[in-house]
Amino acid sequence: MGKNIYTKRQIWLVGIGVILLTLFCVFSSSQAHAEETNTLSIYPAIIEKTLDPGSDSSQSITVYNKEEKAIGIRAYAQNFSASDEFGGMIFNNDTEKEFSASEWLEIKNTNMVIAPKSKFDFLFTINIPKDAEPGGHYATIFFEFVNPLESSSGSKVSVSQRVGALVFITVSGQIEEKGHVLGSNSIDKCLGVQCSFKTAKLREWGPVPFEFRFENTGNVHVKVKSKIEIYNIFGMKVGEALVEEKTVLPNSTRFFDAKWLREPLFGRYTAKLTLNYGTLNVTERAQTSFWAIPWKGILFVFILVIFIIIYKLKKRKRSSANKNGIQ
């Protein structure tokens, strides 16, 4: 009889081990990243100017050659606009577009040679037409060079590379800074399923990712600053998620995301988004809620309790049977 009891105990212990391994097995993954280096660098990479119609402004960009040899550079301007909500851009030469500015940039040195390990101060002028529309206008100054390379057959090929400086021009006049968290139903709240500020409604534990979209409906670019504060079911603030500041071009939508890094969670939480944009620091608000239930841990405890109860009952039954047998 003692041998059979020991065998049953072994079976239960193996069962517990299987449950533990199944519920709490953690898979780790590694992500490699590569760093890209340029043979050419520029400063500043972003130029922002506010100018009156009919005025002009001289600007400079420092171009640095990192190579051990002299390189030839070609400079030219193109318009840019948002291509998607993730910060992508479209570059073109269409001067008829509403927010274009490439035709306002006067470039004197379109071709230049930069000596090895040296810099060149590139000069250009911004000329604002008298009839320019108030609001934002955008262009990029590209610095393009060609590197000769030897192919496997011995023939020469050339690889063209370029780096660009973004030029943000605000023409003074009737400036309209307008925008909202996408899906909001008023100027200060964004609630319900249509709100773009969201996270998964049910999760096991953290970190907790958030996302939202800001739509710029004005005629000038705006910088968007925001923060997310998290409150528990009792209304107490328990955390905060950092949101990267981004610039949103007019007539475009920009995607934002953030992550609350806290991991152990339980209960209902409310996340409140506070967003400020533009020179007037206009405030937008939104909120969403979610539940955190560590169901795997709860299931493990439940199974463990059931196992203990069954084990106790069987032990009591065996004890009672042994007692009756002795009597």
Query: Three-class SS of residue 209?
Result: strand
Give the amino acid at 16.
Answer: I
More confident residue, 271 or 19: 271
95 Rama sector, left if φ>0, alpha if ψ -120 to 50, beta otherwise: alpha
pLDDT tens figures, 221-265: 999 999 999 999 999 999 999 999 999 999 999 999 999 998 888
Q: Are residues 135 and 166 in the same domain?
A: yes
Q: Is it the case that residue 266 has pLDDT exceeding 60? A: yes
Q: Name the domain count of the chain.
A: 2
Ranked by mean pLDDT, the top range of 54-63, 95-104, 180-189 is: 54-63
Q: Containing domain of residue 48, as a range?
A: 40-171
Q: Is it the case that residue 189 has pLDDT exceeding 50? A: yes
Cα-based distances in Å from 106 to 61, 103, 123:
13, 8, 9
Q: What is the DSSP letter of 134?
A: S
Q: Are residues 140 and 204 in the same domain?
A: no
pLDDT tens figures, 105-147: 999 888 889 999 999 999 999 999 999 999 999 999 999 886 6
List all residues 6 or more positions away from 306 whose beta carbon is below 8 Å from its beta carbon.
none
Q: Is it the case that residue 32 has pLDDT exceeding 70? A: no
Q: Are residues 45 and 165 in the same domain?
A: yes
Q: Are residues 237 and 275 in the same domain?
A: yes
pLDDT at 6: 42
User: For the chain, what is the mean pLDDT?
Assistant: 81
pLDDT at 191: 56
Q: Is it the case that residue 96 has pLDDT exceeding 50? A: yes
pLDDT at 154: 53
pLDDT at 301: 72
Tokens of 34: 């590569």
pLDDT at 263: 83
Average pLDDT (82-90) is 91
Cα-based distances in Å from 164 to 35, 41, 79:
19, 9, 11
Q: Are residues 59 and 145 in the same domain?
A: yes
231 occurs within a structural domain: yes
Q: Are residues 217 and 97 in the same domain?
A: no
List all residues 6 or more positions away from 157 whose beta carbon is below 8 Å from its beta carbon.
148, 149, 151
List all residues 6 or more positions away from 160 whose beta carbon is below 8 Å from its beta carbon.
144, 145, 146
Average pLDDT (16-30) is 34
Q: Is it the case that residue 159 has pLDDT exceeding 60? A: no
Q: Are residues 53 and 74 in the same domain?
A: yes
In terms of Cα–Cα distance, which of 129, 124, 119 is closest to 77?
Answer: 124
308 occurs within a structural domain: no
pLDDT at 108: 85
Q: Is it the case that residue 8 has pLDDT exceeding 80? A: no
Q: Are residues 104 and 191 in the same domain?
A: no
CATH at residue 277 = 2.60.40.10
Q: What percent of the chain has pLDDT over 70?
A: 76
Average pLDDT (143-166) is 67
pLDDT at 325: 61
pLDDT at 172: 95
Q: Is it the case that residue 37 has pLDDT exceeding 50? A: no
